[in-house]
Structure 1
Amino acid sequence: MRMPSPSRWIAVLALAAACGAQAQRGADNINVNGQLVLAARAGLVPRVQQLLAEGAQVNSRDRNGDSPLNMAAGKGNVELVDVLLAAKADVQLANLSGVTPLMSAAYARSPEIVGKLLAAGARTDPVDRVKKTAAVYAAGQGCTACLEQLLVAGTPVDARLDHNLTLLMWAAGYGHEPIARLLLQRGADRTLRDDRGKTAADIARELDYAPLARLLEP
């Protein structure tokens, strides 16, 4: 059997070493990105800063598609949101269920984070897998300050959502009178009906929110 020449062996060894080094760099990146996700989930701001400085990708995601920014917004972690926005995190990046950081912040009842995300260019119109927008989450959670910012940012007060529901109907369904008052002040139409033919007042009445039903009467 013919043996390779010494020069060929050297070339083969050099190629193997280069491939090994590249594979190690890839593994290191995977590790540092995974560590970033774990640190963000735990709310460890200094650790997140360290990992970003070491080259972790700010838009890394976990198996559910959640980015560090989505996690921070969902937990109302203002300090971590600031760090991630400074690192140019994608404010539009949704998880596998279509939930964006703006939706997460509204669900977490964090008007401060909602404001920061809107200032960074977050869109108000995306809809997640269950047909909800950030404004629906704000209305459902009773976060008046969140919803007010979303309306100012361009969310239509009478937007027709899944099943022709409006934000006023969502407020009625959860019994949130301050949300309903805000929407009415912004010109929400009490007379609109969902695909069952029910108004916001009908919904409130059926759920025994009598004072709210009177407020919503057309």
Structure 2
Amino acid sequence: MARERGLDGLERILENVTTADQPTDPAAALLRAAADGDADAVAVALRAGADIESRDEHDRTALLLAATYDHVAVAELLVAMGADPDALDDRHDTPWLVTGVTGSVAMLEALLPANPDLTIRNRYGGLSPIPASERGHVDYVRRVVRTGIDLNHVNDLGWTALLEAIILGDGGAAHQEIVRILLAAGADPGIADGDGVTPLQHAEQRGYDEMVALLRR
């Protein structure tokens, strides 16, 4: 498979693995290597027969572990070998959804070739731009708005990414920039929360003057 996909470095690793090098529990070795960020050990575990979709006690796959700990090289290898970017764990996270929490643009880029399902929701009913907007991940939001993901998605709390940037943000420069990016990308400032309070009203209530100015344009 590595040869067919032109993965020369991985092919060399797999060809040089001896029986003595192979782990006795390939699945456990795969998951451990993914969590540790050891791409060579991941390759060895796969060569030893590990199922690429093996799961740990929390139903996390190797790709989800790589995404969680931001091990981009491991994720690139696993994606190249066909790992599922949509595998859900027991917290209803996927490798893709995790990027909205970590804010890793490099991981986002590593996962996009696997064509992740951008409509899968996390345990709060949200898509990846929502936690990213809450946490102030400016670069991530700037990149994710170009994927075609639904920026007006409303989570189970009744909040969009725009609302979370205002309600759960600190009103500072990072969250101001996120509001600017979301609006420029087509986020609807007229979508109110479950109580009918709009993004503009939330910004006004909090004294976030810069956001107010952006929302009034």
Percent identity (aligned): 26
Once residues 160 and 106 of structure 1 are traced to their aligned partners in structure 2, the CA distance between those partners, rounded to angstroms, is: 15
Change in Cα spacing, 1:207 to 1:39, as seen in structure 2 (3 Å) is farther
Cα offsets for 1:126-173 (capped at 9, x unmatched) = 112222211212222222332344332222232233243121101112
Cα offsets for 1:77-110 (capped at 9, x unmatched) = 1111111112211111111111010111221111
2:163 to 158, 161, 169: 169
**Cα RMSD (Å) of the superposition?**
2.2
Q: Any stretches of 5+ residues in structure 2 without a counterpart?
A: 1-21
The structure carrying a bigger helix percent of its residues is 1
Residues 86-165 of structure 1: pairs in structure 2 closer than 5 A: 86-165=80-159
- Asked if structure 2 preserves the Cα contact closer than 8 Å seen for 1:29 and 1:56, the reply is no
- Asked if structure 1 preserves the Cα contact closer than 8 Å seen for 2:84 and 2:114, the reply is no
1:45 aligned onto 2:42: no
1:198 aligned onto 2:192: no
Residue of structure 2 in register with 1:6 after alignment: none
Detail structure 1 runs of 4+ shifted over 3 Å in the superposition. 204-210
Structure of larger gyration radius: 1
* Number of aligned residue pairs: 191
Partner SS state of residue 162, structure 1: coil
Once residues 180 and 127 of structure 1 are traced to their aligned partners in structure 2, the CA distance between those partners, rounded to angstroms, is: 22
1:184 aligned onto 2:183: yes
Change in Cα spacing, 1:83 to 1:199, as seen in structure 2 (3 Å) is same
| TM-score of the two chains, using structure 2 as the length reference | 0.79
| TM-score of the two chains, using structure 1 as the length reference | 0.78
Range moving further from structure 2, 199-208 or 38-47:
199-208
Aligned residue type for 1:55: G
